[in-house]
Amino acid sequence: MLTPEDYLNGQVLLIDKPLKWSSFQAVNKLKYALINKLGLPKKFKIGHAGTLDPLATGLLIVCTGKFTKSISEIQGQAKEYTGTFYIGATTPSYDLETEIDATFPTEHITSDLIHETVKQFLGEIDQKPPVFSAIKKDGVRLYEHARAGVEVEIASRKTQIHEFEITRIALPEIDFRVVCSKGTYIRSLAYDFGLALQSGGHLTVLRRTKIGDYDVKNAIDVTLFDESIVPNDASK
C-alpha cells in the first residue's frame, strides 16, 4: 500500500472519470481523500494531465508530488478515444451540452461513403475548435463568448489523426475509435465528419481509453478511490 511519503514524493494515478464529473472535481476528490485519510498537507502538489469534458468518461491521469513536473510530457502524448457520432443533426456545442439547432438528410449515406470519408481525416488536418470550448479569445474563454451570444472568429489549427476506425454503423449513429495528437477536439471531428458526409453531425458519447501507454483498463473509478486508501493511523 502507498504511504503518505509515496504520494508526496510523486505518483501517477490512473482515474476512470464518470459522466458529468469535471476534471477539477475528480482531482479535488482525490486531493481531499488523501488529506483526510493520510494526513497529507493541504497544499501538497496534485494536478491532472489533460482535461476531460464533463460529458466524457474515461482516463484522467492525476500526478502528485514531483511527478507533477511530468504533466506537460504526458499531455503531449497521443490519445485514444471511442464514442458515437449522431449523423443528421448539429448542435452549437457540437455535443449534447446544447440542443439540436439544425437537421440534415441522411438517406444518401451508405456504409461505403462513411468508410471512404474516414480517409479525408487521416494524417494532418485543419480543425476549428468548438465555440463552446475553454480556449481564450481576447482574454475571454470561447464558451463565455458563446453563452453571451457574441460571435467570434476562431482560427483553425493543425492536428494529427493517427488512426480513425468506424466500429459500428446504425444510422443515425456511428461508433468510432480515434487515435490523435494533443489538442484534437473530437466534438469538432464529429461536426466536420457530418459535414463531409454532406449532412450534419454531433458527438453523443465520448470515452478516453488511452494516453500514450497509459490505459483506462488499469484505472480506478474516482468514486472508489477512497476505499483504496489505507488510513494513516498517525493522522488520526
- Residues marked as catalytic: 53
Rounded to 10 degrees, what is the CA torsion of 100, 106, 107, 113? -170
Q: Which residues pair with 124 in a beta bridge?
A: 160
90 near 200, Cβ under 8 Å?
Answer: yes
How many CA atoms does the CB half-sphere of 92 hold within 13 Å?
14
Q: Which three cell numbers stand for residue 163?
A: 488512426
Q: State how far the Cα of 32 lies from the Cα of 160, in Å rounded to an integer.
A: 37
State whether residue 225 is helix, strand or coil. Answer: helix
User: Do residues 229 and 37 lie in contact, with contact meaning Cβ atoms separated by under 8 Å?
Assistant: yes
Number of H helices, E strands in the chain: 7, 14
Q: How many CA atoms lie within 13 A of 125 on its CB side?
A: 25
Number of neighbours of residue 92 by Cβ within 10 angstroms: 17
